[in-house]
Amino acid sequence: MRALSRKWSSRRPALLAAVLLGAAMLVHTFAIAAPARAAVPATAAAAAAEKAAMLPPGTAIASAHGLATDAGFEIIRAGGNAFDAAVAVSAVLSVVEPISSGIGGGGFFLLHEGRSGRDVFVDARETAPAAATPAAYLDAQGELDRDRATNGPWSAGIPGLPAALVHVAAEYGQLPLATSLAPAIRIARQGFPVYERLERGYASRRAVMERYRGTREVFLADGDPPKVGELLVQPDLARTLELLAEHGFDGFYRGEVAAKLLAAVAEEGGQWRADELAGYRVRERAPLAFGYRDWNIVTAPPPSSGGVALAQILQILEGWDLAALDEPTRIHLVSEAMRRAYRDRTIYLGDPDFVKMPLARLTSAGYAAGLRAGIHPQKATPSALLSGEVAPLEDDETTHFSIIDAHGNRASVTQTVNLLYGSGMVAPGTGVLLNNEMDDFALKPGTPNAFGVMGFAANAVAPGKRMLSSMTPTFMTSPDRVVAVGAPGGSRIITQVLLAILAYDAGMSPPQVAALPRFHHQWMPDAISAEPGALAPATVEALQAMGHKVNAGESDWGNLQTVQWDRKAGTLSGGSDPRREGGKAAVEPVSAGD
Ligand code: DON
């Protein structure tokens, strides 16, 4: 048995811990303005000033953990751009938020290059191992084996996030990967203070996590789980990140780390092959883009369902002046649009490398107009089938961060290990907590997954296939404003981003958008879910009178992180979801490359 890697702080509520904790627990939201510019007569100076006005006055970063946001600024100050910062923020989140994401998982990086104006979507979604046939997930009665689907080696797809870090640094960054990974390596080695979400999440997954030797080695100290204020030190994860920094792709997908991952999966009864790791590739895809009122929306294409759903919902809603409607009617119409988009998600969407999807039709204005015509202005449309199951609440799993730098580069990144602490299984000697993303496949067609969403053939499991996602990293631009936004929340990610778009369109600021109460409809179960206080009692009654089932007052969900550049005002600002402790949105008047 290895020495315990977690250090107690019971005798020494270490100064470092206190400082880090203080930094991490503060939720900052503020804005900076461009420095006042003196009138300059010279043409060259005037041109320079004009160009400066076209660029953000610094960098804005919003993420779910203060240490990750700070690491992003550290890298910008070291001469990096938004993409180097994205690598740093992503890697630090993998260290300090194992509850949500990690290098044993995957994610989507939506990037915008300021200079060229190009948008690209880096798909680092996990892939299914060949052994993961549909039959492998059924129990003796032919029912979905939920334990296999969500816990341990069979629930894990081949990780994509390490490949994304290597790819984004090499293709878009200005700094060596080793520089951008340095903050994550340092924090993994020195430790960070355990916070409440981590402790609470561990308690809810404890029974599963402690099945696995590697997990016990990382998270238990003298047999006890992590407690608030202690330092969580992860030397194996530091070493794995170092190997990634030194050897790039091969540092994770071949050699020592790969061998340990394969051995761990085999030890726990799973089946991964060396060529499945070595053969993993990120995919660069064209983002999905469409217009909504004054906004150009650039967002996630399949294998995310988010962009398609947003395109449908927003184009349906464009037929009404939402601001002019009373609240019950507005929520009724938005819910009906959500219902229709989630129905199509269920039927049509999957991995574009494997399935043909009618994307042009699904995202067309004409199709949206047809759907809109089927919405009764005052009556709920019953969903075609009623699953009878209430969708579980989502909390802290998955994480999003948003960055805009002084060159107008931007990154909107959502990354995940799926459910709390993913599969619960750490591969011994690597510090890598494996995801449980396989549950995002329709492992048994028509059977809802952990988010209460189901699927059919388009999202059936197949070797090398990517499971359908709801992660929706998004940019929105108008003549005046540029926004990056995204959130965790499983199937509720899409509707959070939708409500954020509607809120920005209504003129709200990033902190207001992050705090906005949420509601959600996902076709099945056939009900509107709402956070406490999101709907006034009179609105709930009015919706019920229209035929809606309303689950008002569910616990809250999401952890939205957003930044905005107001081109007209020359300001940057950010908003970090006030529902969760530890997030940080901040702005620094520094230029990449300064
Ligand atoms: O890709 C997806 O849609 C899910 N695996 C995301 C999971 C998630 O957001 C969990 N959140 N609370």
pLDDT tens, 63-110? 999 999 999 999 999 999 999 999 999 999 999 999 999 999 999 999
pLDDT in tens, 203-254: 999 999 999 999 999 999 999 999 999 999 999 999 999 999 999 999 999 9
* pLDDT band, residue 577 (cuts 50/70/90): very high
When mean pLDDT is compared across 118-127, 287-296, 440-449, 478-487, the lowest value belongs to 440-449
Q: What are phi and psi of 54, to 5 degrees?
A: -85, -5
Whole-model pTM? Answer: 0.91
How far is it, in rounded angstroms, from Cα 411 to Cα 486? 11
Q: Is 449 in the pocket of ligand 1 (CB under 6 A)?
A: no
Q: Does the pLDDT at position 12 exceed 60?
A: no
More confident residue, 49 or 243: 243
Strand 550-551: give its sheet, edge to edge.
519-520, 528-530, 550-551
Q: Is 101 in the pocket of ligand 1 (CB under 6 A)?
A: no
Q: Is 471 in the pocket of ligand 1 (CB under 6 A)?
A: yes
Q: What's the rounded mean pLDDT across residues 196-209?
A: 96
- Measured CA to CA in angstroms, residue 501 lies from 119, 298, 329 at distances of 19, 11, 19
How far is it, in rounded angstroms, from Cα 210 to Cα 213? 7
* pLDDT band, residue 554 (cuts 50/70/90): confident
Q: What is the mean pLDDT of the chain?
A: 90
Tokens of 353: 């490398």
Report, as residue numbers or ranges, the catalytic residues: 398
Contacts of 579 (CB under 8 A, 6+ apart): 556, 557, 558, 559
Cα–ligand 1 centroid distance for 398 (angstroms): 6
**Residue 44 has what pLDDT?**
65
DSSP element (H, E) containing 414: strand 410-416
Q: Which amino acid is it at 257? A: V
Q: Is 488 in the pocket of ligand 1 (CB under 6 A)?
A: yes
Q: Does the pLDDT at position 296 exceed 60?
A: yes
R_g of the chain, CA atoms, integer Å: 23
Q: Among residues 32, 85, 173, 76, which one has the least CA distance to residue 412? A: 85
How far is it, in rounded angstroms, from Cα 223 to Cα 204? 16
pLDDT in tens, 501-550: 999 999 999 999 999 999 999 998 899 999 999 999 999 999 999 999 99
Q: Does the pLDDT at position 37 exceed 80?
A: no
Contacts of 525 (CB under 8 A, 6+ apart): 383, 386, 387, 388, 389, 390, 391, 452, 549
**Residue 43 has what pLDDT?**
61
How far is it, in rounded angstroms, from Cα 283 to Cα 280? 10
Cα–ligand 1 centroid distance for 470 (angstroms): 7
Angle formed by the axes of helices 327-348 and 493-505, nearest 10°: 140
How far is it, in rounded angstroms, from Cα 581 to Cα 559? 10
Alpha helices in 108-156 (DSSP H): 146-150
Closest residue CA from atom 5 of ligand 1: 418
pLDDT in tens, 350-363: 999 999 999 999 99
Q: Does the pLDDT at position 439 exceed 90?
A: yes
3-state secondary structure of 343: helix
Q: What are phi and psi of 465, to 5 degrees?
A: -80, 150
Cα–ligand 1 centroid distance for 101 (angstroms): 10
Cα–ligand 1 centroid distance for 417 (angstroms): 8
When mean pLDDT is compared across 254-258, 416-420, 454-458, the lowest value belongs to 454-458
* pLDDT band, residue 50 (cuts 50/70/90): low
Q: Does the pLDDT at position 47 exceed 70?
A: no
In angstroms, how far is CA 34 from the centroid of its own chain?
Answer: 30
Give 52: exposed, middle or buried? Use CB within 10 Å, 0-12, 13-18, 19+: middle
Q: What's the rounded mean pLDDT across residues 243-272?
A: 98
Q: Does the pLDDT at position 584 exceed 90?
A: yes
Q: Is 397 in the pocket of ligand 1 (CB under 6 A)?
A: yes
- Please, what is the end-to-end C-alpha distance for the chain in angstroms? 48
How far is it, in rounded angstroms, from Cα 36 to Cα 41? 16
How far is it, in rounded angstroms, from Cα 478 to Cα 505? 9
Closest residue CA from atom 2 of ligand 1: 469
pLDDT in tens, 449-472: 999 888 999 999 999 999 999 999
Sign of CA dihedral 134, 137, 140, 144: negative
Tokens of 38: 């003196």
Q: What's the rounded mean pLDDT across residues 372-387?
A: 79
How far is it, in rounded angstroms, from Cα 423 to Cα 102? 12
Cα–ligand 1 centroid distance for 490 (angstroms): 4
Cα–ligand 1 centroid distance for 584 (angstroms): 21
Count of other CB atoms within 10 angstroms of residue 343: 18
Q: Is 455 in the pocket of ligand 1 (CB under 6 A)?
A: no
CB 472 within 8 A of CB 307: yes
How far is it, in rounded angstroms, from Cα 577 to Cα 561? 6
Ligand 1 atom showing the smallest separation from residue 395 Cα: 12
More confident residue, 388 or 547: 547
Q: Which of 493, 520, 561 to mutate to test the pocket of ligand 1 (most atoms within 8 A of CB)?
A: 493
Q: Is 489 in the pocket of ligand 1 (CB under 6 A)?
A: yes
How far is it, in rounded angstroms, from Cα 175 to Cα 169? 7
Closest residue CA from atom 9 of ligand 1: 490
Alpha helices in 174-305 (DSSP H): 177-190, 196-209, 213-219, 235-247, 249-253, 255-267, 274-278
